[in-house]
């Protein structure tokens, strides 16, 4: 039985891990149940309506307080998107000087 190619990058080198398929080239993971169904790609848009993707660089458009600390992410801070996730805070990213955090896409614009 052959495994399906990666829906994100098209690589044929996917492998199985429990109930997930994993692509070693782009590190994309997806459930086996969704491999047979149509792929419903997560669509995330920035404050200006531009589509965002994993690895994009974005700029913060509003001062954002970091919950649980006295730090603030200032307007104009450049952020690299690690991955897009489903939920209220839909950008998983790393901010210089602060570290890993999640942001809402409505507070960033594509750089």
| Encoded tokens for 92 | 């998983």
Q: How confident is the model at residue 78 (pLDDT cuts 50, 70, 90)?
A: very high
CB atoms within 10 A of CB 44: 20
- State the average pLDDT over residues 18-36: 81
Q: How confident is the model at residue 37 (pLDDT cuts 50, 70, 90)?
A: very low
| Encoded tokens for 71 | 């730090």
Q: How far is CA 14 from CA 21, 37, 39, in A?
A: 6, 17, 16
- State the average pLDDT over residues 91-110: 92
Alpha-helical (H) ranges within the chain are: 32-36
pLDDT of 39 strictly over 50:
no
């Amino acid at each position: 039985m052959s495994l399906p190619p990666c829906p994100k990058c098209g690589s044929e080198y996917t492998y199985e891990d429990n109930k997930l398929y994993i692509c070693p080239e782009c590190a994309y993971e997806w459930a086996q149940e969704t491999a047979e169904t149509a792929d419903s790609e997560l669509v995330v848009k920035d404050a200006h309506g531009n589509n965002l993707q994993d690895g994009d660089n974005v700029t913060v458009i509003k001062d954002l307080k970091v919950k649980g600390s006295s730090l603030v992410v200032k307007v104009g801070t450049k952020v690299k998107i690690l991955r897009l996730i489903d939920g209220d805070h839909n950008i998983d990213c790393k901010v210089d000087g602060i570290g890993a955090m999640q942001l809402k896409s409505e507070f960033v614009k594509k750089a």
